[in-house]
Amino acid sequence: MASSSSELGFVFLLLFLSLLVASKPQQDSNFLFEGFNNSENHLNLEGATVVKPSGSLKLTNRSYNIVGHAFYYKPFQMLVNTTNTTKILKVSSFSTSFVFSIVPSSSGPEGFGLAFVIAPSTQFPWSSPGHLLGLVNSSNDGSPSNHLFVVEFDTVNGYRSQADSKGNHVGVNINGMNSTVNEPAAFFIEGTEAQKEEFSMEESDAVQAWIDYDGEKKIVNVTIAPISLPTKPSKPLISHPIDLHEVLKESMFVGFSASTGESKASSHYILGWSFSLNGPSAELNSSRLPEPPTKENDPSSTSFPWIKLAVAVLSALILLLIFSLCSLTLYRRYNNFENLEDWELDCPHRFRYRDLHVATKGFKESELIGIGGFGVVYKGVLASTGTEVAVKRIVRGSIQGMREFAAEIESLGRLRHKNLVNLQGWCKRKNDLLLVYDYISNGSLDSLLVNPSVVLSWDQRFNIIKGIANGLLYLHEEWEQVVIHRDIKTGNILIDEDLNARVGDFGLARLYDHGQVSHTTNVVGTIGYIAPELTRTGKASTSSDVYAYGVLLLEVVSERRPIDESGQFVLLDWVVENQSLGQIHDVVDPKLNLNYDEEEVELVLKLGLLCAQHRADLRPTMRQVIRYLNFDDPIPVTGAESSRMSSGFLEVVSASTISASYNLSSINSMSSRLVEAGRQPCTC
């Protein structure tokens, strides 16, 4: 009897667990949302919200110039290996179905629509609203580097034209907003050969869409119909051949994006959503979905003329009152009003100061994670998304605060590379100048090197060295302009959770066109990393970045500072001396306990001396540096004399400028415990 009870209990337990698993969204290859209550942990929302208690997902409201994103929180494997012996990748088939509702504005033109998106990231930091649907901007629209697959449900015509008009179409787009194929919103009536029934997506209470891609046949099918239609139409609205092999990456996110414009706005809702990889998506049960939002009646449609007149008079009085109040408010606050400057117009992703103040707990000292010559850095958590960010607060009273702020926005804001820090946006309010960028969990390379409880292995150090080189190569040669960083040092190299290097802090960066010469005339940087030619000409170049990189290489291997607190020890001299004595391995950090590759260590030390030569024309380019690090080319032999001349220069600079560096910014007096000796910014 006891055995029977035990077996019965085990059966009930299995049933309970199966029901529990079935009630949650599937995370491996499919999921199902019939309403979005309690789904926040499975969605990445930016500008979008879950409406309580209905459970509908609102992408945008009827405010102007806004964007809403909602993506499933985990990426899907969109490219798979077809065999176990080759690296040929095949595009996975996928299927999705969702129900959406568009509520146009009752007081003006509606727009701009929504889109189903497959993208490599859930972040679109420089995207624009309106016709671009919050996915791209005018400069990168259509770029193959976007890797976007988009099915748009557009309610405004006029993309790339002078005037807008009412739209009602479905389009399939690749990497931007130019549709490969589009059709007016319609569905095929059952029982007819080719009779197509058009309908308005805005006027319908809700619309169901089905998107199916066959990875074998390379065909995408798009079908839509009003939610009132009992079954899915048997014939798709769009059936188009398209090869996504060059569009999709191996790991991609799926979700939605919607936007409004400067004078057109609608609310965009998702009521239910299912998705499946390599199989049909689950059917949505309309009885379980949230009720579609109410469509508001247009007041201008009333049949009573006297009501129209009363509304018109009342509206005029209200407008007059609002105008008077605004005029009074502007008059009282005239002195505090800030006009946007020219450089601000090119940097559209502006955060609200209030959001950053809340994210950093009022810029509380406990959230302070770093300090430098032009400002302090706080850790923050954005309340809207829960995303961790780093907020750099620049001291406007510093010598070059405003100019460096603009430079960092212009340069870092448009740079994109895996070994650079990603700028998310900015904020300017009175005397507060703020940059918001990715929070890098492990902090700076400098903090890891001096931390006695952390020992980076040689493999980790060698990987970091290569990552910095790749980032500098991108800056010097691979971006649209040449970017001179001008402050390469371990304190400006951040290390992410995978121990990869990210070059950051572009406050001193300068840009110029390829084929031209830099025209910078002032000496900036950090003592110990400044190239000797800068004191003679004041002109920074890619070679001066290479010099600083060379010093950094010696520092990573030895875990010694370029110049000690007394100014008597110069790292470059020490390494040259050990090299001349045949004791080059004596400079290796003793904490490695001889656990390193001798050939790689010797290569890095020789490369550091090669990069830190006195003569700029003898230093390698970053492309040559990478070839040396990959053992593609033998490294040239360097003479000790040129390195000693460079070291002598460091002693002169140290004696003449280190005092000036302490006065560079009043920020140093705020928290002297965070400023380490030998790391002070220098400007002459």
Binding residues: 392
**Rounded distance between C-alpha atoms, residue 145 and residue 546, angstroms:** 28
- Confirm if 593 and 610 have CB atoms less than 8 A apart: no
Kindly list the distances between the CA atom of residue 168 and the CA atoms of 185, 186, 619, in Å, as whole numbers in the listed order: 6, 9, 60
- Confirm if 261 and 132 have CB atoms less than 8 A apart: no
Q: Which of 59, 64, 120, 86 is nearest to 269 (CA)?
A: 59
For the chain, how are helix, strand and coil distributed in percent, rounded to 5? 30, 25, 45
> At how many degrees (to 10) do helices 571-580 and 640-662 cross?
160
Q: Which of 488, 503, 466 is nearest to 627 (CA)?
A: 466
Residue type, 127: S
- The residue annotated as part of the active site, out of 212, 487, 545, 589, is 487
Residue 513 annotated to the active site: no
Encode burial over 587-626: b for 16+ CB neighbours within 10 A, e otherwise: bbbeebeeebeeebbbbbbbbbbbbbbbebeebbebebbb
- Confirm if 389 and 380 have CB atoms less than 8 A apart: yes
Please measure the distance between the N-terminal and C-terminal CA atoms of the chain and give it in whole angstroms: 91
Residues contributing to the annotated binding site for ATP: 392
Kindly list the distances between the CA atom of residue 120 and the CA atoms of 116, 240, 256, 478, in Å, as whole numbers in the listed order: 14, 23, 13, 21
**Rounded distance between C-alpha atoms, residue 124 and residue 162, angstroms:** 26
- Centre a 10 Å sphere on the Cβ of residue 437 and count the other Cβ atoms it contains: 26
Residue type, 265: A
Q: Which of 110, 155, 106 is nearest to 296 (CA)?
A: 106
- Confirm if 360 and 391 have CB atoms less than 8 A apart: yes
SS3 call for 261? coil
**Rounded distance between C-alpha atoms, residue 403 and residue 515, angstroms:** 25
The dihedral region occupied by 375, where left means phi > 0, alpha psi between -120 and 50, and beta the remainder, is: left
Q: Is the dihedral of CA 320, 321, 324, 325 positive or negative?
A: negative
Residue 664 φ then ψ, to 5°: -60, -35
Residue with tokens 């170049």: 541
- Confirm if 103 and 293 have CB atoms less than 8 A apart: yes
**Rounded distance between C-alpha atoms, residue 379 and residue 360, angstroms:** 6
Ordered DSSP codes for 391-446? EEEEETTSTTHHHHHHHHHHHHTT---TTBPPEEEEEEETTEEEEEEE--TT-BHH
SS3 call for 204? coil
Q: Mind telling me the catalytic residues?
A: 487
